[in-house]
Amino acid sequence: MMAQAKTASQLLKNEPLARYTSWRVGGKADQLFIADSVEDLQAFLHTLPVGEPIYFIGLGSNLLVRDGGVRGTVIVMHQALSELRMEGERVYADAGVTCGKLARFTANQAKQGAEFMAGIPGTVGGALAMNAGCYGAETWDIVDQVKTIDLAGELHVRDKAEYVATYRHVQYPKADEWFLGAWFALQAGDAKESTQKIKQLLATRLASQPLNMPSAGSTFRNPEGNYAAKLIEACGLKGYMIGGAQVSEKHANFIVNVGNASALDIELLIKHMKEQVLAQHGIELHQEVRVIGEYA
């Protein structure tokens, strides 16, 4: 739906959210604001009533929107936030830049340390919000500073030390503040070496993950000293279905939409997987996927 070229900001009422999530499910948002610039976003935030629920989303690759939709305002920023540049020795990336694009850019700049980002199917903003990671590295390992916006539309630059980043979780210094971008501190490296590393990582990902079907990446965090996929597979759940939602036969920690899944199908399948792993292995899985909205 969104063109590559800049267009005017849009405010859409009762907008179906399925087209904005990688699972391709979800009900309608009361209103959806597609920002064309930070200035438009600042102006829009000033129009919202006090107490209005606000949800910022990127590519919707780690998000389950329930079938009843979202009461309040959903804000999509990747159209406006697409800048990627060198600032001295640091790399700056807007929150709407895809993680894959950031990885390739840093490799081309002969900077090493962000190659793993090529394996994260989302934007820099989403990666910052959940401390996304893969292959032994995490987003906040390489963050130096972040740029944020608050409810009043005020912009802030915050140091890494103001946040507490743990495995797939980030504790914010202030509620109701959202990421607009980040500066990354990376080591000098070799462009060819980094590019080759990215190619190998993507080949591994393609071979092991169901990238040809709608999913939201890893459903659960890995328990300490174990792997969620291994535990789910040991429960005999590969290929298990509820409605149109299926535990991927390629990677047991992925749930795929085989064509007609509802958000409820997916949520019930998540619940079943958790229950089975707890019953058979005594381990409680914690989901990575964020769930918003109301039941139908």
Q: Please give the chain's pLDDT, 296 residues, in tens.
A: 333 445 689 999 999 999 999 999 999 999 999 999 999 999 999 999 999 999 999 899 999 999 999 999 999 988 889 999 999 999 999 999 999 999 999 999 999 999 999 999 899 999 999 999 988 899 999 999 999 999 999 999 999 999 999 999 999 998 899 999 999 999 999 999 999 999 999 999 999 999 999 999 999 999 999 999 999 999 999 999 999 999 999 999 999 999 899 999 999 999 999 999 999 999 999 999 999 999 99
Per-residue confidence (pLDDT) for residue 78, from 0 to 100 = 81
pLDDT computed for residue 7 by the predictor:
64
SS3 88: coil
Does one domain contain both 31 and 64?
A: yes
- Which of 76, 98, 122 represents a domain boundary (last residue)? 76
**Cβ atoms 139, 123 nearer than 8 A:** no
Give which of 97, 160, 96 is closest to 131, Cα–Cα: 160
DSSP sequence for 102-161: HHHHHHHTTEES-GGGGG--SBHHHHHHHT-EETTEEGGGSEEEEEEEETT--EEEEEGG
Task: State the pTM of this model.
Answer: 0.92
Q: What is the bridge-based pairing of β-strands 177-184 and 143-150? A: antiparallel
- Per DSSP, the three-state class of 168 is coil
The domain in which residue 280 lies consists of 228-292
The pLDDT value given to residue 219? 97
Please choose, from the candidates 250, 228, 248, the residue with its C-alpha nearest in 3D space to the C-alpha of residue 239.
248
Residue 290 annotated as catalytic: no
CA-CA distance, 147 to 43, in Å (whole number)? Answer: 18
Q: Which residue of the set 194, 215, 218, 248 is catalytic?
A: 218
40 and 154 within one domain:
no
* Predicted pLDDT at 87: 96
Same domain, 160 and 106: yes
Contact predicate 10/37, CB 8 Å? no
Could you tell me which of 58, 101, 50 has the C-alpha nearest to residue 78? 58
Domain closes at, from 178, 207, 236: 207
Q: Is residue 217 part of a domain?
A: no
Residue 98 lies in a domain: yes
Nearest-CA neighbor of 61 among 14, 158, 126? 126
Is residue 24 situated within a structural domain?
yes
User: What are the distances in angstroms from CA 171 to CA 92, 153, 162, 165?
Assistant: 22, 21, 9, 6
Q: Select from 151, 177, 207 the last residue of a domain.
A: 207
Same domain as 199, residue 100: yes
pLDDT at residue number 1? 35
288 is catalytic: yes
Query: Is 89 marked active-site?
Result: no
pLDDT of residue 3: 36
* Number of domains comprising the chain: 3
In 3D space, the residue among 209, 262, 296, 220 whose CA is nearest the CA of residue 23 turns out to be: 262
Residues 185 and 110 in one domain: yes
Q: Classify residue 5: in a domain, yes or no.
A: no
Tell whether 61 is covered by a domain: yes
Among residues 61, 168, 262, 267, which one is catalytic? 168
Instruction: Give the pLDDT of residue 24.
Output: 97
pLDDT in the model for residue 5: 46
CATH number of residue 31's parent domain: 3.30.43.10
- With H, G, I as helix, E, B as strand and everything else as coil, classify residue 268: helix
* 223: in domain: no
Q: What are phi and psi of 263, to 5 degrees?
A: -65, -35
Enter the DSSP assignment of 36: S
> Are 199 and 139 part of one and the same domain?
yes
Same domain, 63 and 123: no
The DSSP bridge partners found for residue 290 are: 63
| Assigned domain for 212 exists | no
Question: What's the CATH number where 198 sits?
Answer: 3.30.465.10
Q: Are residues 97 and 201 in the same domain?
A: yes
Do 123 and 71 lie in a common domain? no
Beta-ladder partners of 246: 241, 256
Is 101 found in the same domain as 148? yes
Helix, strand or coil, per DSSP, at residue 240: coil
Structure tokens at 161: 């030390």
The residue type found at 205 is R
Domain-located, residue 218: no
Check whether residue 129 and residue 145 sit in a common domain: yes
If asked whether residues 238 and 153 sit together in one domain, one would say no
Q: Residue 281 sits in a domain of what CATH number?
A: 3.90.78.10
Q: ∠ CA(41), CA(21), CA(9), 5° rounding?
A: 25
C-alpha count within 13 angstroms, C-beta hemisphere, residue 212: 5
